[in-house]
Amino acid sequence: MELRSSEIFSIIYHDIFDYPLTFFELKKWKLNKSIGTKKVIVKKNSFYFLKEREEIIKKRLKRKKYSEDKFKIAKKVSLILGKIPTIKLVAITGALAMNNADKGSDIDLMIITKNNTLWTTRLISYLLINIYGFKVRKPKDNNQKDKLCLNMWLDEEDLVWKNENRNIYSSHEIAQIIPLINKDNTHEKLLNKNSWILDFWPSAVKLNKNFKFKKVKSSKSFSFIEKLAFNLQYVYMKNKISREVITSTRAIFHPNDWSQVIASKLTS
């Protein structure tokens, strides 16, 4: 099969993550971009990959097995967190969402909460996680294996990525999200609010053009409990903040700018 330039670019992109593509994935993750390249694509055992990179097939298959065990842990956690009435979405993100987690990897989760409840919900969530004995990854913790990393918290009314954060990497991260708990079509709302991801990966997700956004009752100011919960947690993490995003409606803990790393690798 003769590959298009956009499909070759997709193979190059996923090669950064040691992730050869199947025919189905090649179509799903076709990039909305064409490039001129002399890199040679090889097909073996139903996988497409760069020439002399055959070893990533075994790596991907091993990671798939590791990911299965981590999925089980994530599902158990989601069943517990899903009982919290203010949680609208619990979803798997990162490498695990692509079944590409290493044996020693942690478990990245995204949480979306009801409007004006993020920080109260976060406190309750960590309390329950500790009560049920799940391990949580802490900052600068090198032992990540099977530990929970709740590194993205969003208020249901603050789901849109800003223009400066829209790129090939962030669009893929959003498109690959796997919902475990999805109340009131919150996952669909997230995707529709960020339809710009199709500018990069036009076939990665299917959006419902007739999707109707329900009106959310919002308060102009914090409730007393929510404000107290925010202040307590902010004081605790204040001295540890580097490039994390901490607001009343967002808590995003990504100390490393992977979008810059990926961009540099694509141009090297």
Domain segments of the chain as ranges: 5-53, 63-265
Q: From CA 16, how far away is CA 266, in angstroms rounded?
A: 8
Query: Was domain 63-265 assigned CATH 3.30.460.10?
Result: yes
Q: From CA 249, how far away is CA 119, in angstroms rounded?
A: 8
Closest among 73, 54, 72, 69 to 15, alpha carbons compared:
54
Closest among 161, 153, 162 to 113, alpha carbons compared:
153
Q: Record the tokens describing residue 72, joined without a space.
A: 């089980």
- Residue 202's contacts (CB-CB under 8 Å, 6 or more residues apart) are 30, 32
Question: In the prediction, which pLDDT does 219 show?
Answer: 54
Closest among 139, 140, 136, 82 to 111, alpha carbons compared:
82
CB 184 within 8 A of CB 90: no
Q: Does pTM top 0.85 for this prediction?
A: yes
**pLDDT string in tens for the chain (268-residue length):** 688 888 999 999 999 999 999 999 999 999 987 676 778 999 999 999 999 999 999 999 999 999 999 999 999 999 999 999 999 999 999 999 999 999 999 999 999 999 999 999 999 999 999 999 999 988 777 889 999 999 999 999 999 999 999 999 999 999 999 999 999 999 999 999 999 999 999 999 999 878 888 777 665 556 899 999 999 998 888 777 777 889 999 999 876 778 888 888 887 6
Give φ, ψ of 198 to 5 degrees: -70, -15
Residue 47 β-bridge partners: 44
